[in-house]
Structure 1
Amino acid sequence: MSAASNLSSEDQFLCSICLDVFTDPVSTPCGHNFCKNCINEHWNTSDRCQCPMCKEGFNTRPDLRVNTFISEMVAQFRQSAQQKTSSSEQQESKPGEVPCDVCTGTKLKALKSCLVCLASYCETHLEPHLTASRLQRHQLIDPVENLEDRMCTKHNKPLELFCKTDQTCVCTLCPVLDHKMHKFVPLKEEYEGKKVELKKTEAEIQQMIQKRRLKIQEIKHSVDLSEEDADREKAEGVQVFTDLKESVERRLNELIDTIKETQKRKEKQAEAFIKELEQEISELKKRSTEVVQVSLSEDHVHLLQSFPYLKAAPPTKDWTEVSVHPPSYEGTVVGALHQLEETLSREMKKLFDEAELKRVQKFAVDVTLDPDTAHPKLILSDDGKQVTYGNVKKNLPNNPERFSDCSCVLGKKSFSFDRFYFEVQVKGKTSWDLGVARESINRKRQITLRPQNGYWTICLRNGNEYKAPAGPSVLLSLKSQPQKVGVFVDYEEGLVSFYDVDAAALIYSFTGCSFTEKLFPFFSPWRNDGGKNSAPLIICPVNQTEWTDDI
């Protein structure tokens, strides 16, 4: 990697902020590189500390150090560029380059053109213009072709003035002969002015280039994220439909087993009847044989004595009403399909809720409690993640932000755009309030939780009464008591949703909300209720849960 010829293109050594080769290159935690001074100035003038390329945000400003590896690569690149520049000097002029007008034979590349001599010179033939006092007064410019274009076509004199009226270059005779009463400035003065304008234009163009380069990186990053999301969704889709397929196959096997079992019962019943009938036939055949034998006997006494026994038929069952009806399977398939439909509907809802919860968990934010807003009887943990109700009222400053009548506390950070999500453990509590509140709520009197007053919350009372204070309150019927509650807000869509995290189930949603102020996470652990409600509310880290699908 030490050879300059092995280095990559110049673009890889350009800072995407200043669009120049890196100076003191540093790397952000997300892996992108910038000039140290450029990224620091960018963050100094920005409201949010985030990467200009991938937009990843940082909770605290990273401590940036010069990347020695990239710094060495940049140094090699600069050295290589200088070597290429020096080696290109005194080369033979190529097509498109200005040749020296003095060279005979091989024409070398011109370094300068003289507006007085109307000729272009290579380094060797330019020497007199640099050393002779008479020629040093000539005006030299970067090499150009067609030096005749620098002469006035009418007066055959150099173009030295600029006519601001006609916006054209003129010679010293033009103001007298052809541009009377026009406004003129020296060509150099106009040149300097236009040069300043071009620098501004160039800066604007470079800014446009920078924005587009950043946009390219943003689009590429978005494509990468989209690909990751697509792979994840495909994997989840395969798993879901595999589970559904297995569920259908399981229900089909159960249907077939039910039909087989019914048929087997009928077969056993028929076999029992047939066995009993065959037994009676055997007995009847035996009696028939005895009757025939006695009938053929010439022993009068024996016949008369046997007659009563033979006359009476052997004990048999009356089979007149006995029959084996074929089983009716009508409705069996329909019933199985109906049961399958209910199962799939239930499981589809479960899968949808799980997918929805996973989606909103991606917008998780770090929430900590603000002690300046806490009611004096509330006890906050040192890390600002837990709150409990205390029986002793602390002597705290009655600042405007603090709740004075209700045992509530807000999160430190406010939100006024985009989407955010956080989770709170409510395990072991019999009463609590959770949600979000707008910044302008009245904190110095008793409050009524409802959207009209700036609160979007759900509540638990008496251990089993869940409600959403929507004005009027909506009673919530939950299959199980949530141990952890997720709160999701879509500011732009006007949506506040609450989830039972462990069950991956939606508890309630406020829809059609109109947010015009900053929103703060809102918490109330309520009173201890004689120790029954002494458990804390705990703000938990968000981990996307893997649920099992019991289809």
Structure 2
Amino acid sequence: MSAEENISSQFSSQAIPSVPSTTCDIHGSSVVLYCKDCGVTLCDTCLTDGSHHNHSYSTLKDACQEQIERVLQRVKKMKSSLLKQSDIRAQVDKAKKDIEEMFSQTKETVADLYQELRELMDQNMQQAFLLIQAQKESMMQGMDQLALEGEKCQEKTKHITQAVEKLKRKQDADSGLSLSEIKALDTSIEAVEDFHRNAGKRMRFDNKRLKALENSVSTIVQRNKDMLPRPWEFAENITFDEKTADKNLETSEDKTQLRYVPSRCPPVGKKSKEAETVPNILASQSFSQGSHYWEVEVKGRKNWTVGVVDKGWVKKGMNQALGQDKLSWALQMDAGSLVALHNDDITMVREAEIEVLGVFLDLSKGWLQFYNVHSGSVLHTFVAKFKNSLYPAFSIEAEKGDVHQMRICALMPQNLSRDLGKL
């Protein structure tokens, strides 16, 4: 399951918002009309300050009636969709069974391939199995989360239906308040609709990572022991450090998913400082010795940067572009073009179709390598004398008409360190 299909389930869900007051949010005056173009209620000042010039208006009562009719139609469609997907738990159980079969088959294939190189590669094979287990756990958790969300969605639908009925009974009493309640209901209905639109997608399985693992082991069998060790032998489970995140970046509860959430536009007349910040975030982990490997899912993203930074870079502050000084090394996708960056030196990288990016850091050899995980190819290698601890670093930017996100892949089963994994 890709990040864009399941990331919404990992971020904190929002409850039905409280009903706003019947006064203008900007000027604090009582609202008198409804702007059809902007979908907001207006006070006398809103009507005279020019911000809604040449817009269409309606009375609060008429707008309330129109909005109630619209909400009723949405609730009707929502109920129809809910009936079609009412048995989410049964679908999840079926999906988990398919996941079990898919991972079981992959494990058997990997075991057969490793048999030929048992004496040389026993430890390496165990690491591959742990990767499979971690991927399986990640998918299973996604299915369990989907089932829970399905149950909550049913309950939320009941509350919405009750709220609409109550709204119909009191619409003539306070039209301004009813419009505010409708606005709150719209938010809740949108959340339910989004769940039903995406539920099917979230139960589709992407086994490209598993096939990539099988293909990689098969390649090892065909070659020789000089290929060892493979990067996954040094796999790490790293997480985002939300304390280092730019104000426009939001992490999931488990700190493995990241998305760009633009700040709310400031009121007219106040200058935005959006362009003054760089959307960076660091990992919670840092490395000062040894070899380390992690993967980042960037599928479908057109603007991202992944790399490492020296602890000296961190001391200078987070509002720096990655790869523009001597203390940071990065691979960047910029509007579909892939480049390697260090000390403001730019190197073009030919291969640009990347779904999962692998990062291998060997501090003893002074290597920083970037891989296209699904093809197994090395995208770029930095060779440097790393003097201090290094932090994995990430950056994503806004992309018009799309969700702006990335995910750190699970390479080790939960609650199991890399050392403990070496059986």
State the TM-score, normalizing by the size of structure 2. Answer: 0.41
State the TM-score, normalizing by the size of structure 1. Answer: 0.32
Higher relative contact order (CA 8 A, sep 6+): 2
